[in-house]
Amino acid sequence: VEKEIVLSVNNIEVVYDEVILVLRGISLDVPKGELVTLLGPNGAGKSTTLKAISGLLKTEDGEVTRGTIEFKGESIANSSPDEIVRKGIFQVMEGRRIIEDMTVIENLRLGAYTRRDKGIKDDIEKVFHYFPRLKERTGMAGYLSGGEQQMLAIGRAIMARPEMILLDEPSMGLSPLLVKEVFGIIRNINKEQGITMLLVEQNANMALHSANYGYVMESGKIVLDGTGEELLNNEDMKEFYLAGG
Ligand code: ATP
């Protein structure tokens, strides 16, 4: 059965500040409804790849200088971040980026800023279904624990009713137990809401157990790809990325 590819990145090159070449021909496909992970060491260019897709690259003086990015068959490489959100792609940034002096509910409403429909209240309840402990936190979001802030950042993405969510290192700064919990919830959201996901991680072991497919990046290139299971059993992966995991 042919899979429907919703996001297709073809041979992109990205340059920062007009001279620093960071991505050297990255290609990847994300099939509809699946969870795909992008792995690799610090500085490999994982975040840059996500920002190229979400359009946020432009806010950091980065530019896609070669290649194409297509979402549902339409080129998005030159669209603004706002246009890309309206087309259905929402990025959860590394480091969470919630608004600390707003409440949980106010933060969630911000995620729905592009929407004009009446389903927003129901979607807040949907977020509380996945993250029940957020419902109990009535103070400012700045008082939430790191794990709760990560949950809120993911909840805010759900509020945008996106077709696709880009997640940048959801495990960052979380305890092993919490990482497991958050990954479980991400997988449930992916399956139950049918939201396609592209997830950047340093925690390869955890990511590959949740993912349908994975790509491994090094120095701005894809060096390996395969199903979650194939990569978990790959000897190079075991040696370099899965040791101790
Ligand atoms: P990490 O896990 O550390 O975030 P990463 O794989 O996501 O790593 P990127 O953040 O995409 O890697 O960075 C890739 C390269 O691009 C690094 O060498 C980094 O120094 C450089 N880089 C990132 N952002 C910028 C920027 N705004 N201006 C110039 N260079 C940048």
Q: For 209-224, how does the pLDDT look when each residue is reduced to its tens digit (9 = 90+)?
A: 999 999 999 999 999 9
The rounded Å distance from CA 46 to ligand 1 centre is: 8
Question: Residues 50-99: pLDDT tens digits?
Answer: 999 999 998 999 999 999 999 999 999 979 999 999 999 999 987 668 89
Looking only at the bridges linking them, the beta strands covering 89-92 and 74-75 are unpaired
Pocket-testing residue among 12, 19, 21, 22, ligand 1, by greatest number of atoms within 8 A of Cβ: 22
The rounded Å distance from CA 47 to ligand 1 centre is: 7
16 CB within 6 A, ligand 1: yes
Instruction: With beta carbons less than 8 A apart as the criterion, state whether 91 and 50 touch.
Output: yes
Q: What is the overall mean pLDDT for the chain?
A: 93
Would the pTM count as exceeding 0.90? Answer: yes
The rounded Å distance from CA 125 to ligand 1 centre is: 36
Supply the pLDDT for residue 114: 82
Nearest CA to ligand 1 atom 18: 43
Quote the CA–CA distance of 199 and 195 in Å, as a whole number. 12
Q: Which helix (H) or strand (E) holds 155?
A: helix 146-159
Q: Say whether the ipTM exceeds 0.90.
A: yes
Q: What is the mean pLDDT of residues 108-127?
A: 91
Quote the CA–CA distance of 130 and 209 in Å, as a whole number. 20
CA within 13 Å, CB half, 66? 10
Supply the pLDDT for residue 244: 56
